[in-house]
Amino acid sequence: MGETVETLRAYRFCLDPSTVQRQVLARYAGAARWGFNARLAVLVDGHRRYLQEVAYATYTDDVDEAGARALVKARGGVATMSLAEQSRELTAMIGDHRTRAAADADAEGAWLHTINRHALMAGMRNADRAWSNWQSSHRGERAGARVGYPRFKKKGRARDSFSLFHDVKRPGIRLTTYRRLRLPNIGEIRLHDSGKRLGRAIARGEALVQSVTVSRSGHRWYASVLVKQQQEQRGPSRRQRAAGAVGVDLGVKATAALSTGELVPNPRVKATVAARIAKTNRALARSQKGSNRRRRLVARLGRLHHLEALERARHTHTLTKRLATGWADVAVEDLHVAGMVRSARGTVEAPGRNVRAKAGLSRGILDVEPGEIRRQLDYKTSWYGSRLHVVDRWAPTSKTCSACGWVKPKLGLSERTFHCGDCDLVLDRDVNAARNIAALAAVPTEGGDAKARGGPAPEPPHGGDGAGPRKREDHPGGHRSGAIPNPSIFAPPRSKSAA
- Residue whose C-alpha is closest to residue 224's, from 425, 15, 375, 17: 15
Catalytic (active site) residue 249: yes
225/198 Cα distance (integer angstroms): 9
Q: Which residue out of 128, 160, 193, 249 is catalytically annotated?
A: 249
Amino acid identity, residue 377? L
Catalytic (active site) residue 89: no
308/316 Cα distance (integer angstroms): 12
52/46 Cα distance (integer angstroms): 10
Catalytic (active site) residue 430: yes
Strands 387-391 and 329-333: parallel
Q: Which residue out of 160, 308, 329, 333 is catalytically annotated?
A: 333
Could you tell me if 202 and 225 are in contact, meaning their C-beta atoms sit under 8 angstroms apart? no
Q: Which residues are the active-site residues?
A: 249, 333, 430
